Every structure is written in structure tokens, then in C-alpha cells.
């Protein structure tokens, strides 16, 4: 919990200046905001003489009139007319108070006072505020008196990076979204009054509300009450989507899968591995077997993306996709800021699958001419994917048909430590795919056995079989517009007209085999090639 982290650092003397960020506008329990929580659990118990608040819109205010009078006695009454001044004029007087008496100073919207960006782009006012805030963190007099500074910001990336330099002792504290148990407790508190009917259990409500803060959960309850409707799965899903889209839609793509493993033809080895090493262990609460990340390798069109969606549906995990086109911005520092927000948004969804398609082009160590943006983002991604605290809670899955182009640092054990080849479907798998796709589109057919057509579709990927089925439907419509039926002759004709077009299938298959480190993840026909590649390595 964020409060325990703060208290530990305070008691150990690491710092007396803290930067709380992310979920700072939420309730910290059933009814207390972050200030009231800190006031009850920390400030009152340590008998601070002055508790003051500052932001650039309201200026300097105090918790009680007596505290304002004490401040004026220390500084001088003539300073009272400067309470609504900018930091350059007011902070020198606050400095005197911080060094003279035990004072708790809350600075809200810190990102508006010392915004992100290089020093050269900051205004004189911002640079002066930066100097004061930074110097306070290493002022031994402030520490010895017992004064404490609390800064609040929504996003750490919006704050000047100067704050986090080792020369200063400003400690960032991540205020996370409530976890499942905390959400469950809060939902139980909200529904105690019985004014809102719920058609789902408390546990289901808690699971469905992942990624939401307490205020958003309360909004769901109030909206259901106002609309006189019960709280249902669909009601929460829609309200949650609206909240998340507003909060993170600019940097993350939210995936709501409609297929599970039963709707996915072939890939039996991959599905068995994912079931035994992700779905079942997570449900048992045993994360030791869960890989940190999974790299799906293989030719285009073999169903790598579908496998990720089916895993999300089968496991019940949330699923988000990192799309670098949403991350990269045109202004200095914007891309890094967007990426930090993206990772926080992904973390807020845990348990969550974070999907990166074509990772060989999405993350690279750095390119000349991009001012270090690629390097910064790559470094941030490496750090996040190797955090063992995320095991079983955040599962990174990446897809590529060119694993040879991925930086070795990403592929090492502890990041994407399991490589699963997703290759061309076998004959029986192709027959299964034909049946599943026809059922998916709701197309009528009189074909009972798809094996003969599967033999004709050798070297077809799943995506190409989808193209064949749609071509067969087109031909069936041409024969009988009102009630089209895919017959054997029609499907055979479609196969003749739609040849496999995936380029470099053999080359990409060899790359996937070379990357694979577990023979159990391969169909038996590839075992000899796997062993040959292993001997050559």
C-alpha cells in the first residue's frame, strides 16, 4: 500500500519531501481523500503545528485559522497579502516557516508548477519554483524541525525530471488504484444501503471493476440508481469502457475478445501450454509457474493475434494492446510521457494481458535522429517487463514473424522468456479451422467432413482459409442469392481460385523453430528440425 511505503521511507529518514502521483484524486478508503487520510493517520499523530496547502490557482491556505495566525507570527503579518502570489514571491516565506516550526505543506497540481521539459524550455518562474522545491528536499534544518512536504500530481511524467535526480531527496510514491480486495470492500460498503439492486455477486462486481478507482465505482452505483436499473455485467462493462477510454484511450487499445480456445482451430500445443502455465496457476493463486512474458513467433496469418484474444477470453483476464502510433508525439518529452501513461494504464487493469504486435518494429534500442526517444522508451519497457512483482498479474505477450530482428535484451529469461512457435496448421487442424470459420460467419453448408478439403489446402494459413470460406460464400450467393449454401463443389472451386499468398513462409518457419526453446511446444513433424537447429546453435 502506498501509505506503508511512504511511512517506511519517512521513519527511516530517507526523506521529508514526497511526490504522490497517479490515483491521488481518488478516495483512499470508504470516505477519505488523500489529505484526510494523511491527516488522520500521520499528521494528527505527530502534532504538526501548521498544516498548509498551496496550488497556483488558490494560493496558500491553512487547515485552521489558528495555523494561519501562527504562520503570520513567524513571517510577519505583512506577508498575508502575498498568499495568492506565484511561487517566486511566496516560497521564500514558506521556507522560513518550514525551518522554524513543524509544518506540513501540501502542494497540489505540482505538474503545473514545475512541468516536464528541459530546463531551457522552462520559464523563469518555473525554474525558481524548481530550485525551491529541490533545495527543500536536502535542507537539514527542515528535516531536524520535523517539517514535511507533500506534493501531488496525476502523472509522474508530467513533472520535471530534475526532481528525480540523485542529488535531491524527493521520494516518488505511486498511489495505485484499489486492488480486488479493496474494491470488494468498497463495493460492499456502497451497496449496504440497499438502494441499488445488483444482479451480479459482490465478487463478480469486484473483478469486473478492475482498472477503476473508487470514485468511478461509486459513479456506476449512482448511475444505476438514477436510471432505476440493476447493476449487471453489461452495465458495468459499458460504464467501465467509457471511463477507461476517456482516461487511457489516447495511448492504449482495449481489447474485448469474443472467442475462446474452443473457437480457435489448431494450435493444440500452444493452447495446452497456456492453459497449464497461465490459466490454471493464476486461478490457484500460484504465480511461480507463470512466465513473465511470451513471444509468439511464426509466419503472418497463422493466428498469433487470435491466440492472444482467445487466451484473454478463456482466462478472464483483461487485455490491452500497445500501439506505438498512439505513443509517439511530436513535442519534446511527449512520447516518453505517453509511454509512462500507457504502462500505468496497463498496470491498472491487472490481471491483464499486454499485447504488442510486431514487436520487432515497435521497440528498438535507439535510432539516430530521434533525440534518444527510442532509447528512453526501450529502457522503460525493459525495466517494466522485468519487474518480478508483476508475475502472474501482468503477462506480456508479443507477436512477430521476424524474431531475429528483436533485441536480445528483450528475449532473455525474465522478460519474454517463453517462445511459442505458431506455425502453419496441420491437416486435421485445417479441417477444424474450415468448420469453425463457417460456423463463425453463420453460413449454411451441407459438408459433414472437411478433411478432403483440408488436404487441398496444404500450406494455407488460418487467415487464408478464412479468405477461401468467404470466397466460397460469394460463389454460393452467385448460385442462389436467397439461401446460399456452401457445398463441396463450391468449396473446391473456391480453393482453386484462392491460392496461398503468404510470403516467405518457409523462412519465417525456420526463424520460429530457431527461436523455440521447448520441443513440447511443437507438433511432432517439426521435432527433427528442432533438434537439427538445436545442434547447429
pLDDT tens readout for residues 283-334: 888 888 899 999 999 998 889 999 999 999 988 888 999 988 888 766 666 7
Q: What is the DSSP secondary structure assignment for residue 231, as one 8-state letter?
A: B
93-124: pLDDT as tens digits: 999 999 999 999 999 999 999 998 778 888 99
Q: How far apart are CA 166 and CA 487, in angstroms?
A: 72
Q: Let me know how long the chain is.
A: 537
% the chain with pLDDT above 70: 97
Cβ contact 407:366 at 8 Å: no
Task: Give CA separation, 297 vs 40, 75, 262, 265, in Å.
Answer: 53, 67, 22, 17
Cis (ω within 30 of 0) for the bond into 351? yes
Rounded mean pLDDT, 424-444: 92
In DSSP terms, 152 is beta-bridged to 20
The cell for 428 is 486435421
Residue (of 261, 258, 260, 265) closest to 434 by Cα position: 265
Please indicate whether residue 78 or residue 220 has the higher confidence score (pLDDT).
Answer: 220
| Residues contacting residue 194 through CB under 8 Å, at least 6 positions apart | none
Q: How far apart are CA 160 and CA 162, in angstroms?
A: 5
Burial, 348: exposed, middle or buried (Cβ in 10 Å; 0-12, 13-18, 19+)? buried
Q: In Å, how far from its chain's centre is CA 467?
A: 33
**Domains with residue ranges and CATH for the chain:** 2-175 (3.40.50), 180-248 (1.10.8), 261-421 (3.40.50.300), 427-497 (1.10.8.60)
The beta-strand segments (E) located in 5-49 are: 17-22
- Give the other-Cβ count within 10 Å of 341's Cβ: 22
Cβ contact 307:344 at 8 Å: no
pLDDT, position 533:
66
CA torsion 153-171-374-347 (nearest 10°) is -60
Q: How far apart are CA 229 and CA 221, in angstroms?
A: 10
- Model confidence at 77: pLDDT above 90: no
The beta-strand segments (E) located in 164-306 are: 170-175, 253-254, 293-297
Mean pLDDT across the chain: 89
Burial, 65: exposed, middle or buried (Cβ in 10 Å; 0-12, 13-18, 19+)? exposed
pLDDT, position 367:
59
Task: Give CA separation, 278 vs 50, 224, 228, 293, 305, in Å.
Answer: 52, 35, 40, 11, 17
Which of 7-16, 217-226, 403-412, 499-508 is least confident?
499-508
Burial, 227: exposed, middle or buried (Cβ in 10 Å; 0-12, 13-18, 19+)? exposed
Q: How far apart are CA 153 and CA 21, in angstroms?
A: 5
pLDDT, position 366:
62
Residue (of 94, 7, 98, 99) closest to 46 by Cα position: 7
Backbone angles phi, psi at 396, to 5 degrees: -85, 130
- Model confidence at 370: pLDDT above 60: no
- Model confidence at 531: pLDDT above 80: no
pLDDT, position 451:
94
The cell for 95 is 521556507
| Residues contacting residue 362 through CB under 8 Å, at least 6 positions apart | 322, 324, 356
Q: pTM higher than 0.85, yes or no? A: no
Q: In Å, how far from its chain's centre is CA 531?
A: 38
Burial, 512: exposed, middle or buried (Cβ in 10 Å; 0-12, 13-18, 19+)? buried
Q: In Å, how far from its chain's centre is CA 212?
A: 13
Rounded mean pLDDT, 169-187: 93
Query: Rounded to 5 degrees, what angle do the CA atoms 294, 358, 382 make?
Result: 55
- Count H helices and E strands in the chain, helices first: 25, 14
Burial, 349: exposed, middle or buried (Cβ in 10 Å; 0-12, 13-18, 19+)? buried
- Model confidence at 446: pLDDT above 70: yes
Amino acid at each position: 500500500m502506498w501509505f506503508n511505503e511512504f511511512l517506511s521511507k519517512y521513519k527511516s529518514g530517507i526523506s521529508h519531501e514526497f511526490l504522490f502521483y497517479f490515483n491521488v484524486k481518488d478516495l483512499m478508503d470508504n470516505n477519505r481523500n488523500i489529505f484526510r487520510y494523511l491527516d488522520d493517520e500521520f499528521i494528527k499523530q505527530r502534532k504538526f503545528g501548521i498544516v498548509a496547502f498551496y496550488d497556483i490557482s488558490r494560493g496558500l491556505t491553512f487547515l485552521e485559522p489558528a495555523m494561519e495566525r501562527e504562520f503570520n507570527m513567524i513571517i510577519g503579518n505583512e506577508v498575508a497579502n502575498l498568499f495568492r502570489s506565484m511561487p517566486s514571491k511566496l516560497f521564500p516565506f514558506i521556507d522560513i516557516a518550514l525551518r522554524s516550526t513543524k509544518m506540513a505543506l501540501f502542494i497540489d497540481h505540482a505538474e503545473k508548477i514545475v512541468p516536464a521539459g528541459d530546463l531551457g524550455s522552462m520559464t523563469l518562474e518555473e525554474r525558481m519554483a524548481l530550485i525551491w522545491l529541490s533545495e527543500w528536499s536536502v535542507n537539514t534544518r527542515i528535516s531536524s524541525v520535523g517539517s514535511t512536504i507533500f506534493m501531488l500530481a496525476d502523472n509522474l511524467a508530467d513533472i520535471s525530471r530534475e526532481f528525480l535526480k540523485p542529488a535531491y531527496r524527493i521520494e516518488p510514491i505511486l498511489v495505485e488504484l484499489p486492488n480486488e480486495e479493496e474494491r470488494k470492500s468498497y463495493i460492499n460498503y456502497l451497496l449496504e444501503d440497499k438502494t441499488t439492486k445488483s444482479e451480479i455477486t459482490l465478487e463478480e462486481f469486484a473483478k469486473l471493476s478492475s482498472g477503476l478507482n473508487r470514485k468511478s465505482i461509486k459513479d456506476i452505483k449512482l448511475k444505476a440508481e438514477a436510471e432505476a436499473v440493476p447493476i449487471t455485467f453489461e452495465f458495468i462493462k459499458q460504464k467501465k469502457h467509457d471511463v477507461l477510454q476517456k482516461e487511457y484511450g489516447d495511448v492504449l487499445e482495449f481489447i474485448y475478445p469474443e472467442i475462446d480456445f474452443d473457437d480457435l482451430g489448431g494450435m493444440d500445443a500452444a493452447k495446452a501450454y497456456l492453459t497449464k502455465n497461465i490459466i490454471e496457476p493464476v486461478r490457484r493463486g500460484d504465480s511461480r509457474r507463470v512466465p513473465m512474458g511470451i513471444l509468439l513467433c511464426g509466419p503472418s496469418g497463422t493466428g498469433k493475434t487470435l491466440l492472444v484474444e482467445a487466451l484473454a477470453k478463456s482466462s478472464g483476464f483483461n487485455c490491452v494492446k500497445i500501439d506505438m502510433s498512439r505513443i509517439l508525439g511530436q513535442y519534446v518529452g511527449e512520447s516518453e510521457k505517453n509511454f509512462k501513461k500507457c504502462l500505468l494504464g496497463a498496470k491498472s487493469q491487472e490481471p491483464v494481458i499486454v499485447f504488442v504486435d510486431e514487436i520487432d518494429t515497435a521497440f528498438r534500442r535507439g535510432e539516430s535522429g530521434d533525440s534518444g526517444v527510442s532509447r528512453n522508451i526501450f529502457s522503460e519497457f525493459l525495466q517494466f517487463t522485468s519487474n518480478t512483482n508483476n508475475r502472474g498479474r501482468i503477462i506480456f505477450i508479443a507477436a512477430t514473424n521476424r524474431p531475429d530482428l528483436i533485441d536480445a535484451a528483450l528475449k532473455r529469461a525474465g522478460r519474454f522468456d517463453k517462445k511459442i512457435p505458431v506455425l502453419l496448421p496441420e491437416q486435421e487442424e485445417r479441417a477444424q479451422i474450415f468448420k469453425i470459420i463457417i460456423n463463425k460467419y453463420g453460413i449454411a453448408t451441407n459438408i459433414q467432413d472437411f478433411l478432403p478439403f483440408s488436404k487441398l489446402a496444404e500450406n494455407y494459413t488460418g487467415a487464408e482459409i478464412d479468405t477461401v470460406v468467404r470466397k466460397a460464400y460469394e460463389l454460393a450467393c452467385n448460385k442462389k442469392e436467397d439461401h446460399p449454401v456452401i457445398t463441396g463443389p463450391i468449396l473446391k472451386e473456391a480453393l482453386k481460385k484462392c491460392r496461398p499468398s503468404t510470403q516467405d513462409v518457409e523462412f519465417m518457419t525456420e526463424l520460429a523453430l530457431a527461436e523455440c526453446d521447448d520441443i513440447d511446444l511443437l507438433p511432432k513433424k517439426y521435432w527433427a528440425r528442432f533438434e537439427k537447429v538445436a545442434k547447429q546453435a
